[in-house]
Amino acid sequence: MRKLTEQQRRDWAINGYIQLEGVFDAEEVDFFNRELDLLRAKPGYEPQPDILPRGHYGWVPQSASQDPEAFMDRRDILPYHDAFIQLMDRPEVFDLVVDIMGPHLLLSMSQAIVRASTTEFPGYTHTDGGEALREIRVTETSRPLAMKALYLLSDVDGPDCGNFTVFPGSHMRPFPTDGDGVAEVSPKTPGAVPLIGKAGDCFLFSHSLWHGPSPNHSGHGRKTLLYNYCQMFLRSYDFETISDVRDRCTPRQRRLLGDLGYDFRPGSYFYVPQDQEAVITQAQAS
């Protein structure tokens, strides 16, 4: 399997993120953009801010708007196309995820986001994983608890284009909140870096990095795919047990979805199956 270069290893340790250029070619970018547009008409999990608390997703019959440039935040995208399943262990990215996380990992979330071009959205900054994970940081020499791969499906070539915006090095610092747990930093706080990238690039970043979307005034929607990986002893965001797509998966993909190959028993997921490393490091066909 591929490994991080020395420069990437330093970037990960010091900045808390890495940019991989040109992971998708132009044809793949078009393909995934089309698939994203198709999701809108289908049922699925989306935020329901008037009904559900922040961070929770409810089942909706379709997205609020069928305009491909409008806001969409769709969770658990694996069932919609085999290409979304294949992306969970695409070697150019997954090999590096394993180099960073080690082999005892789960795919805990998949997501498609469109950030509409609008003057209404100021962007926001957060760490991943909710209130408890926000309190936990690990050292430069430790594996992370969780990390994401964010695939850009739109060019982001200037500020205020819905940029993925980060505070380099912040993964080592407590996230600043007021007494009610509300973030005291935003994409406009000094130190924030709005990242530039091309459709097809991928950002790998730690759950504890202060990050989030900038405003988008570009005139077009900024589209991304996100895959979250966590250590096995954490749990999945997207499913209670194991995703229904398991029958469409390779053994490695099934393992990434939490299928251990035997029924749950106390100790499962903390002490991993004996073949865990072999399954994760070998991309068997079926």
Ligand X SMILES: O=C(O)CCC(=O)C(=O)O
Nearer to ligand X, 94 or 151 (CB): 151
Specify the DSSP class assigned to residue 51: T
Candidates 15-23, 49-57, 187-195, 211-219: pick the segment binding ligand X (CB under 6 A): 211-219
H or E segment and range at residue 164: strand 164-166
Q: Which residue is nearest to ligand X (CB)?
A: 213
Q: Which of 104, 134, 171, 211 binds ligand X (CB under 6 A)?
A: 211
Q: Does 134 bind ligand X (CB under 6 A)?
A: no
Neighbouring residues of 17: CB distance < 8 A, sequence distance ≥ 6 = 11, 166, 168, 203, 204, 205, 206, 209, 211
Nearer to ligand X, 46 or 272 (CB): 46
Q: Does 209 bind ligand X (CB under 6 A)?
A: no
Q: Does 224 bind ligand X (CB under 6 A)?
A: yes
Q: Which of 16, 144, 200, 212 binds ligand X (CB under 6 A)?
A: 212
Number of residues that bind ligand X (CB under 6 A): 10
| Helix/strand/coil percentages in the chain, nearest 5 | 25, 25, 50
Query: How far, in Å, CA of 17 to CA of 213, rounded?
Result: 15
Structure tokens at 238: 């997207």
Q: Does 107 bind ligand X (CB under 6 A)?
A: no
Q: Does 207 bind ligand X (CB under 6 A)?
A: no
Q: Which of 213, 221, 251, 258 binds ligand X (CB under 6 A)?
A: 213
CB of 114 to ligand X, least distance (A): 8
Q: Which of residues 140-179 bind ligand X (CB under 6 A)?
A: 148, 164
Q: Does 215 bind ligand X (CB under 6 A)?
A: no
C-beta separation of 105 from 141 below 8 A: no
Nearer to ligand X, 151 or 272 (CB): 151
Query: How far, in Å, CA of 136 to CA of 230, rounded?
Result: 14
Q: Does 208 bind ligand X (CB under 6 A)?
A: no
Q: Which of 128, 147, 215, 221 binds ligand X (CB under 6 A)?
A: 128
Neighbouring residues of 132: CB distance < 8 A, sequence distance ≥ 6 = none
C-beta separation of 78 from 245 below 8 A: yes
Q: Which of residues 35-94 bind ligand X (CB under 6 A)?
A: none
Q: Does 243 bind ligand X (CB under 6 A)?
A: no
Task: Please count the other Cβ atoms lying within 10 Å of the Cβ belonging to residue 178.
Answer: 8
Query: How far, in Å, CA of 229 to CA of 232, rounded?
Result: 9
Residues that bind ligand X (CB under 6 A): 113, 115, 128, 148, 164, 211-213, 224, 226
